[in-house]
Amino acid sequence: MTFLALLVLVAIAGASGVLRTANQQVDRIARVAGLTFSPEDPNIENFLLVGSDSRAGEDPSAPDFGAIGTSTDVTGNRSDTIMILRRDKHGGRAALLSLPRDLWVYIPSRNGESRINAAYQDGPQALIDTVKDTLKIPVHHYVEIDFQGFKSLVDAIGGVQVCADTPIRDVHTGLNVTTSGCHILDGVQGLAYARSRHFETLNEVTGVWTEDPSSDLGRIKRQQLFVNTALQGALAKVKGNPLSAGDVLVSSTGALKLDASLDVLGAASALRDAVSGGLEPFSPPVYGKTIKGNAVLLFGDGAQAYIDYFSGLSSTPPVPA
């Protein structure tokens, strides 16, 4: 989400001071060198967006410190979120494909099958290879954001509005919204909402909490809605006060990692119209299965249409069943 907001903010910020800040912040972004991508495509450009669950740099005094764990509790990096942003080079709305982290796939770096989430443990190139070689979806750029960056961006744009018919919570992530209606979530609660896999709603008559049975699939839908709402909030904030873009950029770019070849300002220009109109979200059909004792997800009927669209073989967006 930070990368998408960065593109939008840079693209629409016209004040010279903002553009100077943008250039300075782009220079601060960490780069991942040595990555190998798919050949350039004349029709589409795909960005592999990864939300890392790294706890590095977490503040022990932060209100969610216990909820998300520490770098000692959760060592190394895992991909908490995997999305593919598709840009049509001939115009049109940008599309976002969310891949469940429990998707069971062949991972080239391991010469065997596992959850797609495991590919990232072998490094960014292993995840890129899994997407482009196993799923047959080309990857042209790589973007990574960690927990700290996510929270910083949400706070910088003034929070993100989330609406619910009942109180909602997730005792595992620390999400706790005690009343129904629309609420502005800050960075801490926004992250807790976006990460929630044990999302619960309260029956205010019986007092009983009920967990969303869709687990990670429900989380994906909430993430997609959250990203679109955050993007529109960032747009509104910067259009109302272009100089505020500088604050948003300063707060967010330190937690980003991009591939060495990605021209941020060029990408911002290319994606300006497509992203500012909102992202068209997609989730491929999947079904659950137990394989070698693992509860995993496999692509279901109709998934090929999603792959064809994001691979560029089809120019027609898939129609969800």
Q: What is the pLDDT of residue 212?
A: 94
**DSSP structural state of residue 56:** T
Q: What would the two tokens of residue 272 be?
A: 């300006």
Q: What is the pLDDT of residue 150?
A: 80
DSSP β-bridge partners for residue 219: none
Q: Hey, where are the domains in the chain?
A: 2-154+231-311, 157-211
Contact between 192 and 174 under an 8 Å Cβ cutoff? The reply is yes
Q: What would the two tokens of residue 281 be?
A: 């979200």
Q: What is the pLDDT of residue 169?
A: 97
The domain over range 2-154+231-311 is classified in CATH as 3.40.630.30: no
Q: What is the pLDDT of residue 151?
A: 87
Q: What is the pLDDT of residue 55?
A: 44
Q: What is the pLDDT of residue 74?
A: 44
Contact between 309 and 268 under an 8 Å Cβ cutoff? The reply is no
Q: Which residues of 257-267 are buried (b: 16+ CB within 10 A; e: fewer)?
A: bbbeebebeeb
Task: Please give the full DSSP string across 212-236, using - where no structure is assigned.
Answer: -TTHHHHHHHHHHHHHHHHHHHHHH
Q: What would the two tokens of residue 61 be?
A: 């005094």
Q: What would the two tokens of residue 68 be?
A: 């998300």
**Which amino acid does the sequence have at 57?**
G
pLDDT tens across the length of the chain (321 residues): 556 655 655 555 554 455 666 667 777 788 999 999 999 999 999 999 998 775 454 555 555 545 545 444 444 566 678 999 999 998 888 899 999 999 999 999 999 999 999 999 999 999 999 999 999 999 999 988 887 778 887 887 889 999 999 999 999 999 999 999 999 999 999 999 988 999 999 999 999 999 999 888 898 889 888 888 887 777 777 666 666 666 666 666 666 788 999 887 778 777 777 777 778 999 999 999 999 899 999 999 999 999 999 999 999 999 876
